[in-house]
A and B are shown apart, each in its own frame.
Chain A
């Protein structure tokens, strides 16, 4: 196989393992010389099965290993019956000859006496399970305990090794399987670490008094204004008028001061707002975005300032520093200035310099009141990520921590997607439901709630975990079930619940089953409820709240229908007299639209939703202009005025000439865009109506006649359709409404019967697993998917897939669903799987995880459990979280200065924010690459080196170890169960006995470089390839 020169590549499609390597052997490289393991036991030759007796069963074990996939002998030297240094058929025959045919004697140490191997060969004797032979190498009990702690905990610590030794392995496993039996009340380290991840949260409700985007009278700061300019009785009628934000230069201003740069540094703004009853205002808050400095006034009195000096600052005063910040200022000290009825708010804003590139002012006033009870919440998603580490490192309920992580990963959802969803929500009044900060807070709590369920039910029934996941708001958002409607089924979740949550890919289901299941899930959604209405599982899934969420009454100020005037956009309707540029005069109330045509909404063509059809528009003109007059008797009675627009492809709407709404695809089209401008991209009515909050435009509405005007644009001249369906509505929010932005509300699963497909559904048609869901009323439609999800745990595919994943996690990654289905999984692992599936099926309902784990782990008859076969010790690669947690545990350390979730990410793993729904892999090869190994080495060296992580002096003295050989021996046992080769041990001792220049220099306890050298040494130990194995 080895040759020098141009390689002879070939492909060997070899497979046995779950996922196997097919190697092209590279003939150009030298064969490395491998030396057998030094960790040796004494043994009896020929005793393959290590039962202290040489008999027929040994020969059978040898042959079974060689030819029928039997377990590898723990002591290959013992199985090497003829001591020729090779395990082959001749060994089985040699034993048979000796036993039954008077063959030659078995070579030393022979079949009766314990002894070492007198001949040098490549075979090893790692474990010889009988207890009466002395060991030369690792302690068998230590190996077993180390193996156990490697797999059902995040790695050995001295105290857990001692505990397992003192109570025995069976009792230890039993405790871990029953975490409630482990008292954690005195685990201060854990309690303290976990407490740090939470913070107190006092929900508040904000009522807008002066909205962002309001209209202001403003004056450019080219000279000093009269001193009483902020006073309520000041006459500002000759000031300009414009909507906030006001400024220039950063592309975010509604009113742009294009002459400000190099010309003047301040702007003065005034507006009025009304308060019905000042006693209802609990806490008055100024929310203000200012670039750069400002002074604010209420009814003529200064109430807040930032970043500008002078009382008042002169018109030419520059701001102290450059900044662009949103801030909240409590005005409680100034509440007394408020009056019932009309009030005046004024603000002067100052730039940092004449040549500053931008300026912005955007104020708002809100009344804030507590809303609901204060509570303790998870700080943020990185705290939540850290919780996985804190429990993994510090909790004594280690198996529960591991399984909690396992289920979180198996049923993973992405925090970022949840944040994005919340950030786009609106309240009843069409205002943004929440800030990004609130969206992040709520997404964090939901991810925490979900993980907590998985952690608390880690040993429970899989059916509960699955149904919880299916009905969890995070999953409903993440895999699009909230977008799954009867007219537009969305397959995303139904595909993944089969492929990733329950059955495993292509395991007894078809594309058509995915489509049927998607129909069963139609109507599944989320809504907000009062905290007291948040139900525990399973009622949260089986009896979701109805009604819930936002509730309001709607009255139409302008309904779809007649009363519109329109003009085909064949030319600019009101070009500027001098240059012909577009103006908005056509949208103003005084404009004479007598020459315009009469029409009704929807208006447009081509898609069948139009009452007035523009059948000459295609290939002819790009836009159409609409006006409608409406009467308002008393503007103050219009609560929560909202513009609803369903459109194709683009529009800009005006109220009495002021722009109030614009589609995104005209964002850069100018104000107003010319008549022949095409939209940047298409949009159609089916994408759903958009809603615009008109609170900032209250001052624009007049008593009497008002004009709503809209210009509608196509995406291009030959577009197949155009539509405009506008409504002006007022919404009365009902007292029981829980607004999307309600900071006190909690997200819950919600079933919407009207969106459910009530038809008959048949799954797994024509198989023995066929399920038929009858057509039933929408009100009972929740049961469709509930019944299916609940039945999944009884389906053999789920048992196979979940048991295989548990075996991958705890025993060996040498089996996968694919290799199992292909019949290429190792037989001994298939047998473990059969036992696990039997355990899965033994309970009612099926799928009790504790029962399955007992079948995999419990060492009642240890030799029967593959888990305890030494061939499987130290045979799995640690995932990043396992690597990190085991490192800290070994040092009895803390995280020091690093952020564990970031370290985890640098090694390739993040919890709660994974994009893909398949969860992280258990396969070793997915975690080992050069970047990941570098991150691992950097992390352990940093940990070993940091006095914040561990007190190395205390650590060593508590264990009574100080010489190079003591220390090496100690860590060899703790980290590697004594399996380092003697040569490695020698090299490590040498390392400790050299100085930083690599020159021999005895290690002297107490000397200046003693601890430094120790830290480097531990860094090296943890950097060894061996530390990547468990």
Chain B
């Protein structure tokens, strides 16, 4: 029978609203930090911060393949960064963009994995499609709207989990989209209902004793009471999001009330991105959240990209300073945290006529954390032949590792043993050369 969405939603989505625990004890740091690591078996404290660099970051100038002689002033007249101005990474091949100098604080601790040549087969050069593929985990399928990280969260969900993921963003990231709604807020401070507590209480009312019951009151009573048009699209999304909103407001406001100061001299970069990172840090410290996602835009550097200064430098500076601040601030949970960047594609190896670069293939990811085996991957003499800078169509860097494998290693580390349910076709893909683990996290 031809299953249609509405029936599927009805079957599948009966579930998301059924959380009926009593208002939980405030999720304060002390409570959940006391989770025991029973010989490393309890992985429920392991968390992830995902940073999406929207627009396509130029991997070639971010992590410079100095050992490839095609990286020179002829191929990149205004973008070329001289050897003396770049930061050496110690493997005799790769160098880091000077804008990322703060990241060396993390690298030198052995806590930063630099992963070059990450991409996927059939690379799309459309921002919109490729972002979606990175986020849904199904390259080539632009109809799917459910996030890969969302599915990962569903796999590691425990029955008592109520606040698992959040985006510090106006609008939910596709990565975190799915039937169960996760928090998405541009600013945590404004994430509350306005008005007097009395009026808010009356407005919200209370849920019925059982979902679908008629003994509820106010907004919650109606949302969780008998529904109309259960067979029409988006009902579970809209009802579920509204219902979970009240819970997440409570959690966020308690987290804010618990207070937060950046520790160990952490200095987040000024501006929106740094603000988002410090809010992410607050959530990691004061709530049980396991995944937080943020965006940083502006990477579509078609014109005037700059080299040791300029637009790209400024963006990298924010990211690099952000990494350094996160490590300092979150040192107490650093062994249980990974910070990972993603971006939809790299950029052309040759500079264009506008002193920038155009859409290309593989690019660079950064993974940081106390558990990470720091180092440079896929950018050394063993993994990068001279001329690989132009290994695709004489324009792009070919990928060596599929981004899904990178995430699979992080997912496993966080306790997800259902990778096939998280990354469609994972088992059959694992035999491919580009699905071999780079080993940047302990197995």
Q: Chain A interface: which of B102-110, B180-188, B384-392?
A: B180-188
Known: A480-B302, A814-B233. A490 touches B228 (CB 8 A): no
Across-interface contacts of A27 in B (CB, < 8 A): 15
B185–A930 touching, CB < 8 Å: yes
Query: Is A397 an interface position by the 8 A CB rule?
Result: no
Query: Is B205 an interface position by the 8 A CB rule?
Result: yes
Q: In the complex, what residue of chain A is closest to B85 when comparing beta carbons? A: A716
Tell me what chain B mostly uses at the interface: helix, strand, loop, or mixed: loop
A684–B78 touching, CB < 8 Å: yes
Q: Chain A interface: which of B34-42, B258-266, B418-426?
A: B418-426
B4–A826 touching, CB < 8 Å: yes
A1–B303 touching, CB < 8 Å: no
Query: Is B67 an interface position by the 8 A CB rule?
Result: no
* A916 to B227 CA separation, bound complex (whole angstroms): 37
User: Which residues of B from 196 to 221 have beta carbons under 8 Å from A?
Assistant: 198-199, 201-203, 205, 210-214, 216-219, 221
Known: A931-B185, A1019-B203. A875 touches B14 (CB 8 A): no
Q: In the complex, what residue of chain A is closest to B420 when comparing beta carbons? A: A11
Known: A9-B155, A11-B420, A23-B12. A35 touches B227 (CB 8 A): yes
* A719 to B72 CA separation, bound complex (whole angstroms): 10
B16–A29 touching, CB < 8 Å: yes
Min CB gap A757→B, angstroms: 12
* A676 to B211 CA separation, bound complex (whole angstroms): 76
A23–B128 touching, CB < 8 Å: no
Across-interface contacts of B418 in A (CB, < 8 A): 9
User: Which residues of A from 757 to 771 have beta carbons under 8 Å from B?
Assistant: none
B242–A998 touching, CB < 8 Å: no
A916–B125 touching, CB < 8 Å: no
* A46 to B164 CA separation, bound complex (whole angstroms): 48
Q: In the complex, what residue of chain B is closest to A1027 when comparing beta carbons? A: B238
Instruction: Pick from B181, B194, B308, B421: contact of A930, CB below 8 A.
Output: B181
Query: Is A199 an interface position by the 8 A CB rule?
Result: no
Q: In the complex, what residue of chain B is closest to A681 when comparing beta carbons? A: B309
Chain B residues touching A, range: 35 or more
Query: Is A583 an interface position by the 8 A CB rule?
Result: no
Known: A9-B421, A1025-B238. A933 touches B228 (CB 8 A): no
Query: Is A953 an interface position by the 8 A CB rule?
Result: no
Q: Chain A interface: which of B58-66, B350-358, B370-378, B397-405?
A: B350-358
Interface string of A3-35 (1 = CB under 8 A from B): 011010111011111111111111111111111
A938–B82 touching, CB < 8 Å: no
Across-interface contacts of A1024 in B (CB, < 8 A): 219, 222-223
B219–A511 touching, CB < 8 Å: no
Across-interface contacts of A949 in B (CB, < 8 A): none
Query: Is A928 an interface position by the 8 A CB rule?
Result: yes
Across-interface contacts of A658 in B (CB, < 8 A): none
Min CB gap B400→A, angstroms: 23
Known: A34-B14, A874-B232. A26 touches B145 (CB 8 A): no
Instruction: Pick from B18, B78, B155, B213: contact of A682, CB below 8 A.
Output: B78
Query: Is A162 an interface position by the 8 A CB rule?
Result: no
Query: Is A923 an interface position by the 8 A CB rule?
Result: yes
User: Which residues of B from 12 to 32 have beta carbons under 8 Å from A?
Assistant: 12-20
* A35 to B80 CA separation, bound complex (whole angstroms): 66
User: Which residues of B from 229 to 244 have beta carbons under 8 Å from A?
Assistant: 229-235, 237-239, 241-242, 244
Across-interface contacts of A187 in B (CB, < 8 A): none
Known: A983-B214, A996-B202. A930 touches B183 (CB 8 A): yes
A819–B143 touching, CB < 8 Å: yes
Q: Chain B interface: which of A342-350, A833-841, A986-994?
A: A986-994
A17–B12 touching, CB < 8 Å: no
B15–A31 touching, CB < 8 Å: yes
Tell me what chain A mostly uses at the interface: helix, strand, loop, or mixed: loop
Query: Is B179 an interface position by the 8 A CB rule?
Result: yes
A996–B198 touching, CB < 8 Å: yes
Across-interface contacts of A930 in B (CB, < 8 A): 172, 181-185, 191, 241, 244-245, 248
Query: Is A356 an interface position by the 8 A CB rule?
Result: no
B229–A979 touching, CB < 8 Å: yes
* A680 to B159 CA separation, bound complex (whole angstroms): 56
Query: Is B328 an interface position by the 8 A CB rule?
Result: no
User: Which residues of A from 474 to 508 have beta carbons under 8 Å from B?
Assistant: 480, 483, 485, 487-492, 499, 505-506
B191–A931 touching, CB < 8 Å: yes
Interface size on A, residues (CB 8 A): 125
B198–A997 touching, CB < 8 Å: yes
Q: In the complex, what residue of chain B is closest to A927 when comparing beta carbons? A: B171
User: Which residues of A from 969 to 1027 have beta carbons under 8 Å from B?
Assistant: 979-981, 983-984, 986-988, 990-991, 994, 996-998, 1016, 1019-1020, 1023-1026
Instruction: Pick from A67, A491, A505, A1029: contact of B238, CB below 8 A.
Output: A1029
A715–B82 touching, CB < 8 Å: yes
B222–A684 touching, CB < 8 Å: no
A875–B241 touching, CB < 8 Å: no
Known: A824-B143, A981-B228, A996-B198. A925 touches B234 (CB 8 A): yes
Query: Is A822 an interface position by the 8 A CB rule?
Result: yes
A32–B142 touching, CB < 8 Å: no
B1–A66 touching, CB < 8 Å: yes
Query: Is B9 an interface position by the 8 A CB rule?
Result: yes
Min CB gap B335→A, angstroms: 25
B233–A924 touching, CB < 8 Å: yes
Instruction: Pick from A26, A489, A686, A924: contact of B154, CB below 8 A.
Output: A26
B225–A934 touching, CB < 8 Å: no
B222–A987 touching, CB < 8 Å: yes
B185–A22 touching, CB < 8 Å: no
* A1016 to B418 CA separation, bound complex (whole angstroms): 47
Across-interface contacts of B5 in A (CB, < 8 A): 14, 16-17, 20-21, 814
Known: A681-B307, A1026-B228. A16 touches B421 (CB 8 A): no
* A931 to B219 CA separation, bound complex (whole angstroms): 17
* A988 to B218 CA separation, bound complex (whole angstroms): 7
A979–B228 touching, CB < 8 Å: yes
Query: Is A906 an interface position by the 8 A CB rule?
Result: yes
Across-interface contacts of A998 in B (CB, < 8 A): 201-202, 205, 217-218
Query: Is A926 an interface position by the 8 A CB rule?
Result: yes
Across-interface contacts of A979 in B (CB, < 8 A): 228-229
Known: A681-B309, A822-B143, A981-B228. A716 touches B82 (CB 8 A): yes
Interface string of A27-55 (1 = CB under 8 A from B): 11111111111110000000000000000
A718–B20 touching, CB < 8 Å: no
Interface centre among A16, A934, A997 (most CB of B within 10 A): A934
Across-interface contacts of B313 in A (CB, < 8 A): 681
Across-interface contacts of A37 in B (CB, < 8 A): 228-230
Known: A23-B12, A665-B309, A908-B170. A928 touches B17 (CB 8 A): no
Across-interface contacts of B82 in A (CB, < 8 A): 715-716, 718-719
* A325 to B245 CA separation, bound complex (whole angstroms): 45
* A602 to B231 CA separation, bound complex (whole angstroms): 75
A68–B226 touching, CB < 8 Å: no
Instruction: Pick from A7, A480, A931, A986: contact of B155, CB below 8 A.
Output: A7
Min CB gap A979→B, angstroms: 5
Residues of A within 8 A of B (CB): 1-2, 4-5, 7, 9-11, 13-39, 66-69, 72, 124, 126, 480, 483, 485, 487-492, 499, 505-506, 511, 665, 680-684, 686-687, 715-716, 718-721, 813-814, 816, 818-819, 822, 824, 826, 871, 874-875, 877, 905-906, 908, 915-916, 918, 923-926, 928-934, 937-938, 941-942, 979-981, 983-984, 986-988, 990-991, 994, 996-998, 1016, 1019-1020, 1023-1026, 1028-1029
Known: A511-B125, A931-B172. 15 other contacts (CB 8 A): A2-B15, A13-B138, A21-B178, A22-B424, A29-B19, A34-B227, A124-B231, A487-B353, A488-B352, A819-B143, A824-B143, A874-B232, A987-B217, A987-B221, A987-B222
Give me 14 A-to-B residue pairs in the complex whose CB atoms sit less than 8 angstroms apart, sorted by A's number.
Answer: A21-B146, A30-B18, A33-B213, A66-B1, A499-B126, A681-B306, A682-B78, A684-B77, A721-B73, A875-B229, A928-B241, A937-B245, A991-B217, A1019-B203
7 residue pairs, one from A and one from B, having the closest CB atoms: A488-B353, A929-B172, A681-B309, A33-B212, A32-B211, A30-B18, A35-B226
